[in-house]
């Protein structure tokens, strides 16, 4: 339990490392709280390469809770003449220091990489006092001389995932605002694997840079760093993502849904014509402008291959709620699966169901494992049949059109050989002749 305070909850105290605004050039990194924003980020300055952490006054970072040892841990930064640097975490505690959820052990040292989660005292969330004693932080590496810093000034974090962090940034010369997706360091086992991955990476990036479509998030520049991390400079889309839009405005009227669906099908059909399969379509990857109606900007196309380092579609990736069944069910004895661009058709259909119902797109048992869930799930046809949409101000309503239902059945066909492709979707009666 936290130690009592006569003046209220105690925040982390920093001696010379501080939470004041500084330029990224002065820092070798920073710790961003995973939960409570009241804690604030902890800056790690280049003029202090060794940072002690503990409960006792005198540490560079003081966490005032009983679960924190007097001398709990130490972060140290070393930079080589080449500009490459390493960050090492030393656990000195009795109650535990955790790296990515795994307890280290007293006197154990571990390398810390960009995007790693570091927790002090306990690995999980602590909601006491609004999370003030939840000492879980995401480490952001600013010490390596990433080429992107020469051209862009980084702002706040605007998104995070398992393999990447997204920042708002500004081009130094033009002042243009962009989004920088920092893909965390790849950790491959052998030099041969690294060589193959780099070759595939260069090929995928070259393809991504040739893509130009009004409904695709534009890729401006790519920086590949010596440590294997990648910085993608992307078009900044300020209107948020489709998931947030659905949660705020859903269920969406059929006409609004059709507007988004048409743009989505147009964008992905274009990708397919260029030999690119998205593989991870979901509402979070569909960005929207602030226009009314919004313009769709599909993000993260090609990223599955960039992160995966593979040359064919044979890995189980994606979000389970929107995964095509063959991605999980058609797995050989070696754990591999091969599938084609029709996986995107299924994902588009699932997204449309989510827009129309403001619910997860399938009826499934959340307690089952992923394979069982996907094998047994059924689209929410009953919920779709019950949807009613206003016709006028007099209160008259209509149900979902027959064309829309037929369209969804074509996309959500279990057998990919019978599933409708997205180029064909554009000539389906529900979308035929539609324009934005």
pLDDT value of position 248:
95
The answer to whether residues 371 and 329 touch, using CB atoms and an 8 Å cutoff, is yes
Q: Which of 280, 300, 308, 344 is catalytic?
A: 280
**How far is 204 from 227, CA to CA, in rounded Å?**
19
Q: Minimal CA–CA distance to 285: which of 231, 354, 334, 229?
A: 354
Decide if domain 13-141 falls under CATH 1.25.50.10.
no
pLDDT value of position 154:
81
pLDDT value of position 184:
74
Is 243-425 in the same CATH topology as 148-235? no
On whether the pTM is more than 0.95, the answer is no
pLDDT value of position 351:
98
Q: Classify domain 148-235 by CATH number.
A: 3.30.200.20
pLDDT value of position 315:
42
The answer to whether residues 38 and 17 touch, using CB atoms and an 8 Å cutoff, is no
pLDDT value of position 288:
97
DSSP 184: P
Asked if 280 is an active-site residue, the reply is: yes
pLDDT value of position 400:
96
**How far is 375 from 360, CA to CA, in rounded Å?**
16
- The one-digit pLDDT tens for each residue of the chain (436 residues) are 334 333 333 456 554 444 455 666 789 999 998 876 566 889 999 999 999 999 999 999 999 888 999 999 999 999 866 566 889 999 999 989 999 999 999 999 998 988 889 999 988 766 554 445 689 999 988 877 678 888 998 888 888 776 778 889 999 999 999 999 888 765 545 667 667 767 777 777 787 888 999 999 999 998 887 667 788 999 999 999 999 999 999 899 999 999 999 999 999 999 999 888 898 899 999 999 999 999 999 998 866 555 544 333 334 444 578 988 888 777 655 555 557 899 999 999 999 999 999 999 999 877 777 788 888 889 999 999 999 988 877 778 899 999 999 999 999 999 999 999 999 999 999 999 888 7
pLDDT value of position 163:
73
pLDDT value of position 103:
95
**Domain residue extents for the chain:** 13-141, 148-235, 243-425
Architecture of the domain made up of 243-425:
Orthogonal Bundle (1.10)
Q: Minimal CA–CA distance to 229: which of 117, 116, 367?
A: 116
pLDDT value of position 16:
42
Q: For 210-247, b where at least 16 C-beta lie within 10 A, e where not — what string? A: ebebebbbbbebbbbbebbbbbbbbbbbebebbbebbe
The answer to whether residues 77 and 49 touch, using CB atoms and an 8 Å cutoff, is yes
| Residues whose CB falls within 8 Å of the CB of residue 3, separated by 6 or more in sequence, listed in order | 10, 64, 65, 66
DSSP SS3 for 424: helix
Q: Minimal CA–CA distance to 433: which of 307, 213, 262, 308?
A: 262
């Amino acid at each position: 339990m936290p130690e009592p305070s006569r003046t209220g909850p105690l925040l982390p105290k920093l001696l010379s490392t501080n939470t004041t605004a500084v330029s990224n050039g002065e820092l070798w990194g920073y710790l961003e709280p995973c939960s409570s924003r009241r804690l604030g980020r902890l800056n790690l300055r280049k003029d202090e390469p060794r940072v002690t952490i503990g409960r006792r006054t005198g540490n560079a970072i003081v966490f005032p809770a009983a679960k924190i040892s007097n001398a709990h841990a130490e972060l140290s930064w070393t930079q080589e003449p080449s500009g490459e640097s390493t960050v090492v975490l030393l656990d000195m505690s009795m109650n535990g220091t955790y790296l990515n959820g795994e307890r280290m052990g007293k006197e154990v040292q571990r390398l810390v990489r960009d995007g790693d989660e570091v927790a002090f005292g306990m690995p999980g969330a602590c909601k006491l006092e609004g999370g003030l004693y939840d000492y879980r932080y995401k480490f952001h590496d600013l010490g390596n001389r990433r080429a992107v810093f020469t051209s862009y000034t980084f702002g706040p974090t605007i998104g995070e995932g398992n393999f990447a962090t997204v920042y708002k940034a500004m081009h130094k010369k033009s002042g243009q605002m962009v989004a920088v997706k920092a893909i965390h360091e790849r950790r491959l086992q052998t030099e041969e694997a690294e060589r193959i991955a780099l070759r595939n990476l260069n090929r995928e990036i070259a393809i991504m840079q040739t893509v130009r479509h009004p409904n695709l998030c534009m890729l401006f520049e790519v920086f590949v760093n010596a440590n294997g991390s990648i910085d993608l400079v992307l078009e900044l889309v300020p209107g948020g993502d489709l998931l947030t839009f659905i949660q705020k405005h859903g269920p969406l009227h059929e006409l609004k849904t059709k507007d988004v669906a048409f743009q989505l099908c147009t964008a992905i059909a274009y990708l397919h014509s260029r030999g690119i399969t998205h593989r991870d379509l979901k509402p979070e990857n569909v960005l929207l402008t602030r226009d009314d109606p919004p313009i769709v900007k599909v993000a993260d196309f090609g990223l599955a291959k960039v992160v995966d380092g593979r040359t064919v579609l044979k890995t189980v990736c994606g979000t389970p709620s929107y995964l095509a069944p063959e991605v999980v069910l058609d797995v050989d004895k070696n754990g591999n699966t091969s599938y084609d661009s029709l996986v995107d058709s299924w994902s588009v259909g699932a997204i449309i169901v989510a827009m129309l119902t403001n619910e997860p797109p399938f009826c499934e048992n959340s307690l089952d494992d992923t394979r069982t869930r996907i094998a047994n799930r059924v689209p929410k046809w009953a919920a779709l049949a019950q949807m009613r949409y206003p016709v006028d101000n007099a209160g008259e309503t209509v149900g979902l059109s027959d064309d829309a239902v037929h369209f969804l059945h074509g996309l959500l066909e279990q057998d990919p050989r019978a599933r409708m492709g997205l180029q064909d979707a554009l000539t389906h009666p529900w979308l035929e002749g539609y324009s934005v």
